Amino acid sequence: MKQLADDVYQIACMPFSSVNAYLAGGVLFDAGTRQSEGTILKALRGKTVTAHALTHAHPDHQGASRAVCEALDLPLWCGTADADAMETGDFDIPPNPVSRFVDAVWTGPPHPVARRLREGDEVGGFTAIETPGHTAGHVAYWRERDRTLIVGDVVRNMSFATLLPGLREPPAVFTTDLAQNRASARKLLGLDPALVLFGHGRPIRDTARFNAFISSLAA
- Which residues lie near Zn ion (CB under 5 A)? 60, 153, 199
Q: How far is the CB of 159 from Zn ion (least distance, A)?
A: 14
Cβ proximity to Zn ion: between 154 and 191 the closer is 154
Cβ proximity to Zn ion: between 79 and 125 the closer is 79
Cβ proximity to Zn ion: between 80 and 135 the closer is 135
Quick one: residue 140, left, alpha or beta (phi over 0 = left, psi -120 to 50 = alpha)? Answer: beta
Quick one: residue 202, left, alpha or beta (phi over 0 = left, psi -120 to 50 = alpha)? Answer: beta
Report helix, strand or coil for 86.
Answer: helix
Question: In the 8-state DSSP scheme, what is residue 169?
Answer: P
Q: How far is the CB of 156 from Zn ion (least distance, A)?
A: 8
Q: How far is the CB of 59 from Zn ion (least distance, A)?
A: 8
Q: How far is the CB of 152 from Zn ion (least distance, A)?
A: 7
C-alpha atoms less than 13 angstroms from C-alpha of 191 in its C-beta half-sphere: 29
Cβ proximity to Zn ion: between 53 and 125 the closer is 53
Find how far residue 83's CA is from the centre of its chain.
14
d(CA 34, CA 62): 8
